[in-house]
Amino acid sequence: MGTLYKALPYVAVSFLISFCLTPLVKKIGLAIDAYAIENERTVHHGRIVRIGGVAMYTAFIIAMAIFVHPDSTFNAIIIGSLIVFLGGLLDDMFDLGAGVKLGFQLAGALYVIIFGQIQLVEMNLAFFTVNISSINYLVSLFWIVGVTNAINLIDGLDGLSSGISIIVLCVIGFIGYQMRRIDVAIVCLILIGAVGGVLSFNFHPASIFVGDCGAQFMGFMIACLSLLGFKSSTFVSLLFPLIILFIPLADTCLAIIRRKLNGQKISEADKSHLHHVLMFKIGLSHRNTVLLLYLVTTLFAGDALLMFFNQKAGTIMLIALCLVAWLFIELTGMIRKDFHPLIGLCRKLTGHPKKSKDARFDANKIKD
């Protein structure tokens, strides 16, 4: 209980700043026409400001100045995050091209890798260790840019990226605290408060969006903190972040595979992301889709915690969760409608699940 009381100021201060700034940012966004444009992929209606990340980032910087003693690592994170945040903000206002956006992300990532020494040297993947010192810059760059885009890509529903980021930051902060990385835990708490203040206005029905500036900032910070929190572990340095970030990373990987198979550009948007599938194929409401994805993220985050304390039990749970996730992918055709190898194998071996004309999913429908 004493630890919770000590944690409260970090969350409370950044939350209050973010909460108070968000209405002001909303007014500024409306004044400069920085609102989300409706198109065939959007699920919102009306003029909704999409620069909520400004309140989030401002609250983070102020709280960091109050609570965190600066050093080369965190100075690099602040400057790197500023680069990524500004790239996202410019995109929110002027719709930058994919190449320009990637340029900002690469610049921010390279800055923290070079000047903050935030990088992986070993990949401890539970059962074996791979020394990657010869390519650690490349792997670290890929990780930071990948997670940044993963959080950005999943930002398709009210409060989705913000809520998932808070869950992920809770786990990273807790494990960081357990590993005596108090600095990582404090920064996670500050971020939780900053994101939570905007989430109060961003949850469905949202009156403001976090925008690319907010989503990319959250993704960038999660990527950097995950490397800081776990790189000193003798047990697992990369597996924990992969488990915790399963939902956004899996959705990103599936989007890349799906678009390549369909002859689309990787940067070309579609309406087959996980949240779209839950809403339009399963029929869940906007709010229930977000809550379900919160729940699934919590399950994977809980598995990461379980694996931290009990590797065997955590591995068993991870296999079970991944199996369920894979069956869902096949059933809903998130890769392709005709791609369901595991279900096909089960049908050959057991005769189940049987096909029918009125089956809910394509994998179980009788073809005409």
CB-based contact 304:244 (threshold 8 Å): yes
Helical H runs in the chain?
Answer: 2-31, 53-67, 72-94, 98-115, 136-153, 160-178, 182-202, 211-230, 239-244, 246-261, 274-276, 286-309, 311-332, 341-350
Rounded CA-CA distance 350/352 in Å is 5
Question: What's the pLDDT at 134?
Answer: 57
Q: The whole model's pTM is what? A: 0.89
CB neighbourhood size of 242 (10 A): 18
- Report angle CA 86, 90, 96 to the nearest 5 degrees: 125
- Report angle CA 34, 39, 42 to the nearest 5 degrees: 85
pLDDT (tens digit per residue) in 204-215: 888 999 999 999
User: Which residue numbers in the chain have pLDDT < 70?
Assistant: 1-4, 37-46, 121-134, 229-238, 267, 367-368
Question: What's the pLDDT at 368?
Answer: 56
Question: What's the pLDDT at 167?
Answer: 96
Question: What's the pLDDT at 121?
Answer: 58
Residue keyed to tokens 């694996």: 307
Reading the block at residue 117, the tokens are: 């020494």
Question: What's the pLDDT at 40?
Answer: 54
Rounded CA-CA distance 276/289 in Å is 9
Rounded CA-CA distance 175/182 in Å is 10
Reading the block at residue 263, the tokens are: 């002859």
Q: Which residues pair with 129 in a beta bridge?
A: 124
Among residues 280, 345, 281, 293, the alpha carbon closest in space to that of 40 is found at 280
